[in-house]
């Protein structure tokens, strides 16, 4: 189902466990800061609205989405008590193939970090054709990808806690 048919902030159809017992890292790319700032605000608001306490959230910036992998790796290597990491970024197609390399690197990179540490590392990265599509998914008509990433992080932290 494409985002056109699903609001990224609508979780009325699902049960969200409490995040009160979990610690979260949020790594935020500084590229396209208008968008990633909105993603961050959505993710933070959603974590707090679902029981997470502010002192259990560590938020760190990285220069661009390509650095999200390194940021997640460094955080998990130094903080074993983090239950899930949310990676937030916005990659917008330019004139060259650079977009493809970044998107592929980030998607594979953060997947590998999650596997390495057996911790949920959430792909909260917009990969859009233009700024308007990003705005629509960072608090616009399609909701906020940051909200979705936060809910996913809580669900996956809860999943791990049941094993």
Ligand X SMILES: CC(=O)[C@@H](O)COP(=O)(O)O
Ligand Y SMILES: Nc1c(NC[C@H](O)[C@H](O)[C@H](O)CO)[nH]c(=O)[nH]c1=O
Q: How far apart are the first and last CA of the chain?
A: 30
Q: Is 96 in the site for ligand X (CB under 6 A)?
A: yes
Question: Which residue number has the CB closest to ligand Y?
Answer: 64
| Min CB(50)–ligand Y separation in Å | 27
Question: Are the beta carbons of 87 and 56 closer than 8 angstroms?
Answer: no
Q: Tokens 């970044």, residue?
A: 102
Residue 155 dihedral angles phi and psi, to the nearest 5°: -60, -40
| Min CB(104)–ligand X separation in Å | 11
Q: Is 65 in the site for ligand Y (CB under 6 A)?
A: yes
Residue 25: name the closest of 44, 41, 42, 38 by CA: 44
96 touches, from ligand Y, ligand X, none (C-beta below 5 to 8 Å by class): ligand X
Q: Is 64 in the site for ligand Y (CB under 6 A)?
A: yes
Rounded to whole angstroms, the Cα distance separating 42 from 102 reads 23
How far from chain centre, in Å, is Cα 40? 8
Three-state SS for 35? helix
Q: Is 98 a catalytic residue?
A: yes
| Min CB(107)–ligand Y separation in Å | 13
Chain positions 19 to 38 lying near ligand Y, rule: CB under 6 A, are: 29, 31-32
Question: Of 10, 33, 49, 98, which one is the catalytic site residue?
Answer: 98
Q: Is 35 in the site for ligand X (CB under 6 A)?
A: no
Chain positions 84 to 103 lying near ligand Y, rule: CB under 6 A, are: 89-92, 102
Rounded to whole angstroms, the Cα distance separating 66 from 56 reads 25
Rounded to whole angstroms, the Cα distance separating 29 from 83 reads 20
| Min CB(22)–ligand X separation in Å | 32
List active site positions. Answer: 98
Q: Per the annotation, where are the binding residues for (2S)-2-hydroxy-3-oxobutyl phosphate?
A: 95-96, 137
What residues make contact with ligand X under the rule CB under 6 A? 91-92, 94-96, 98-99, 102
């Amino acid at each position: 189902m494409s985002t056109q048919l699903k609001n990224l902030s609508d979780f009325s159809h699902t049960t969200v466990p409490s995040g009160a017992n979990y610690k979260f890292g949020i790594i935020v790319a500084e590229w396209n800061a208008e968008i990633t700032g909105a993603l961050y605000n959505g993710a933070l608001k959603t974590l707090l609205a679902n029981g997470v306490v502010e002192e259990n959230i560590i938020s760190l910036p990285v220069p661009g989405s390509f650095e999200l992998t390194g940021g997640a790796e460094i955080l998990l290597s130094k903080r074993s008590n983090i239950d899930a990491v949310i990676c937030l970024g916005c990659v917008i197609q330019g004139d060259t193939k650079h977009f493809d390399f970044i998107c592929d690197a980030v998607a594979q990179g953060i997947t590998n970090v999650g596997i390495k540490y057996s911790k949920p590392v959430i792909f909260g990265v917009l990969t859009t054709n233009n700024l308007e599509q990003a705005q629509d998914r960072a608090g616009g008509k399609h909701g906020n990808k940051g909200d979705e990433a936060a809910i996913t992080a809580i669900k996956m932290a809860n999943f791990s806690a049941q094993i």
